[in-house]
Structure 1
Amino acid sequence: MDPHRPDEALPSPTVDVVDLHCHGAVGHSFDDADLEGLAAAVAYHRAHGTSRLLLSLVSAPLERTERRLRQLREVIPALPGVAGVHLEGPFLAHSRRGAHDAQALISPTASAVDRLLTAADGIVRQVTIAPELPGAMDAIDALVSAGVTVAVGHTQADHDTAAAAFDRGARLLTHAFNAMPGLGHRAVGPVGAALERDHVVLEVVADGVHLHPVVIRTVFAAAPGRVALVTDAMSATGLGDGNYRLGGLEVEVNDGRPTLTGTDILAGSTLTMERAIAVATAAGVSPDDARYAATAVPARVLDIR
């Protein structure tokens, strides 16, 4: 068994390309698109390298997210390749919210977690949470007990707080290095906590914007077999530059780079999984390792076999 690939002693995982983090495409956002729009966005990603994906939702008022989850429960069976939902919020740090509406962010109370799980009725597979928020550790317990993969992200947490979340059962780092403290030589932050724990997978957005090529190949070298390529693609994916929306916020896309209007804050990407593999390879990652990060690793996160 290759020690860099910890699941090779188990039955062979799917060779499907799995995207854990995707918000939409071709003008349609998973936050509000109807069935036709959802199908068009999913079909675009499936035509550009993705076999299975999670529908990622940005932070919204709790009632709106509950309503959306109930809607998605009804239509997901009609969407080939959709493996469930990823809630990227609303349990995020204000200081690291990125392209999330500040007014939608809340602490992960027991009531809020229960309401979302009840509305989801099993379709939520992944939740991103800032572990420093009040109630976060208890929320991680509840989500893990419900079979949900917990990701640390959009966080101001230091190393010890992030480490406590991972030791509590979180096992994913949302778009590593982005919307969190960096990997300092003394303050190693959430990235350092993730790197030192063999059960934690690090998401990498290999679009040539979110991470420098040096960082991409360094993460692959530092966490072999524990990197998951993701797109973090938003509704502009597959379209040209212009003005779009992400949740309730205005986004402008220039040269394929989406930012909140009037700022330099990244608002997802216009990436596809086939391009993510190509960008990672161009950064110096071996083709086999890049492919592994798009298939076996994310499949392991969702227990897809």
Structure 2
Amino acid sequence: MITLINARIPGFKNLKQIYINPHGIIEKIKETSFEHIGEIIDVEGDWISLGGVDLQINGALGKAFPELTEADNFVLEDICKFLWTQGIDGFLPTLVTTSVENIQRSLKIIDEYIKKHPQTSTQKAQILGVHLEGPFLNVEKRGAHAAEYLLRPSLEAVEDILEKYTHLVKIVTLAPELDLEGEVIQYLDSHSITISLGHSDASAEQARKAFEKGASMVTHAFNAMPPLHHRKPGLLAEAIVNEKVYCGLIADGRHVAPTMIDLLLRASHYEKGIFLVSDALAPMGLEDGFYPWDSRQIEVKEGTARLINGTLAGTTLPLFKGVENLVKWGICDLGVAIAMATESPRKAINLKGIEIGQTANLLRWHKNEASKQLNWERINLNTL
């Protein structure tokens, strides 16, 4: 048994003790006391969390997930190992709008990889499923998505794309104004697939109806949707006032201004319902420069990726950069920021957070008050 003492845990009040059994499972969480069992680790008031979960990541190490080929099993393995070093426990490879053929090929390769590589392995992030960000998007809000591959949502189109991979797809981003009857939303919901509204020009009423039909998420809040307006609240405002809806957020300082992030978190009672995503593109883990992106090209500067025409395409920054930014900007305290990268994304797709029975893949966070530097490290139970 290992006991971590004097730990701060996101979502818990006061200092806690975490009891971890010989199998690496959290057996008990209780108030700090003198009841210490086995090996004792005093974390001295630092924050303890599970690793991060990234629900929107488009690629890494030079490989975009929609461009996977049969020879890319080793690439997926390398990406999983790389993301583990970035503090990530699990992620959803995200397939942006591309041809149906490309989507189906990537789904097949990812599915085969998961079957061949047991997810009980350590030292690498787990693939939790797939996020389809398209192709059922509004052409007027497509952003960097390729217009020629956009499709109107229909049961026939969804069944054609998903085929035998409904078990693999965990999130589908779509524009609800293209599915006014909600047939596609209800179909996806019936297959336990989370429907996220995004790349959309939906009104508040259209968004409300989509949430009533089964949608429960918003893709990268503020981006590729109508802005908040006092007479036309739109999709995002409807999501904010709905306590059952989760919103993804890119906190890189480029996609959304810090002031608007502050407003969003205040309106949502801070971490409640808001989770961070990286929205990282294939050059994540590589140097700045020019890189291919489908048939086009992107330029990466200081972690921000844009098409050559200046359209914002995504980032190459890791998920925890958002945690660092939220604290640096003074928007929320460290515990809330950590929760938005570790607890909230798990809740958004119905996974367990840090609790009794959870595998103790734990991070220790420390903020140096003098330098304001934020650091984290994995707690390696095998070396204790």
Residue 64 of structure 1 is matched in structure 2 by 102
Q: C-alpha displacement at 1:177, in angstroms?
A: 0.3
TM-aligned CA deviation for residue 128 of structure 1 = 0.1
Q: How do 1:13-28 residues align onto structure 2 when only pairs under 5 Å count?
A: 15-28=50-63
| Between structures 1 and 2, the one with greater strand share | 2
CA separation of 1:65 and 1:273: change in aligned 2, threshold 3 A: same
Letter in 2 for 1:125: K
Look up the match of 2:300. 253
The answer on whether the counterparts of 2:91 and 2:127 sit within 8 Å (CA) in structure 1 is yes
Structure 2 CA distance, aligned partners of 1:137 and 1:247? Answer: 31
Q: 1:264 aligns with which of 310, 329, 337?
A: 310
Q: How far apart are the structure 2 equivalents of 1:293 and 1:138?
A: 31
The equivalences for 1:280-291 within 5 A come to 280-283=326-329, 284-291=331-338
> Residue 84 in 1 paired to residue 122 in 2?
no
* Conservation of the 8 A alpha-carbon contact between 2:66 and 2:102: no
Q: Deviations over 1:125-169 (max 9, x none)?
A: 000000011467110000000000000000011111111111211
Aligned to 1:274: 320
Matched letter for residue 257 of structure 1: T
- 2: CA distance, partners of 1:134 / 1:217: 32
1:276 and 1:237 map into 2 onto residues whose CA distance is 15
- 8 Å Cα contact 1:231-1:273 kept in structure 2: yes
Q: Secondary structure at the match of 2:176?
A: coil
Which one-letter code corresponds to 1:183 in the other structure? Answer: L
Counterpart CA distance in 2 for 1:301 and 1:88 is 16
Which of 138, 151, 158 is matched with 1:113 structurally? Answer: 158
CA offsets, 1:28-68, max 9 Å, x none? 11112311222222322221121110000011122321222
- Equivalents in 2 of 1:83, 1:135: separation in Å? 30
> Which 5+ residue runs of structure 1 have no aligned equivalent?
6-10
Question: Which of the numbers 152, 155, 161 marks the counterpart of 2:206?
Answer: 161
Q: Structure 1 or 2: larger helix share? A: 1
Letter matched to residue 209 of structure 2: A
Paired residue type of 1:31: P
- Counterpart of 1:8? none
Equivalent in 219, 236, 261 of residue 216 of structure 1: 261
Kindly indicate whether structure 1 or structure 2 has the higher relative contact order, using CA contacts under 8 Å at least 6 residues apart. Answer: 1
How big is the shift at 1:245? 2.8
**1:252: Cα distance to partner?**
1.3
Provide the rounded CA distance (Å) in 1 between the counterparts of 2:280 and 2:132.
14
- Could you tell which deviates more after superposition, 16-25 or 130-139? 130-139
Q: Which has the larger radius of gyration?
A: 2
CA–CA separation in structure 2 for the residues paired with 1:89 and 1:180: 14
TM-score, reference length from structure 1: 0.91
Equivalent in the alignment of 2:65: 30
Identify the range of structure 1 (160-169 vs 173-182) with the bigger mean alpha-carbon deviation: 160-169
Deviates more, 1:95-104 or 1:110-119: 110-119
**Deviation for aligned residue 1:270:** 1.1
Question: What is the CA-CA distance between 1:181 and the residue it aligns to?
Answer: 0.6
Q: 1:279 to 1:266 in 2, by over 3 A?
A: same
2:80 counterpart of 1:42: yes
1:52 aligns with 2:96: no
* Distance of 2:246 and 2:77 partners within structure 1: 29
Deviation at 1:121, TM superposition (A): 4.1
Q: Which residue of 2 aligns with 1:294?
A: 341
Contact 1:96 1:154 in 2 (8 A): yes
Cα drift, residue 188 of structure 1: 1.3
Aligned pair count reads 294
Whether the 8 Å contact between 1:99 and 1:249 is mirrored in structure 2 is no
Percent of aligned pairs sharing the same letter: 34
Once the 2 structures are TM-superposed, how far is the Cα of residue 285 of structure 1 from its aligned partner? 1.5
Distance change >3 Å, CA 270–CA 190, structure 1 → 2:
same
SS of the counterpart of 2:292? Answer: strand
Query: Per-residue displacement from partner, 1:206-230 (whole Å, max 9, x unpaired)?
Result: 1111111111122111113110100
Q: Which residue of structure 2 lines up, in the alignment, with residue 194 of structure 1?
A: 239
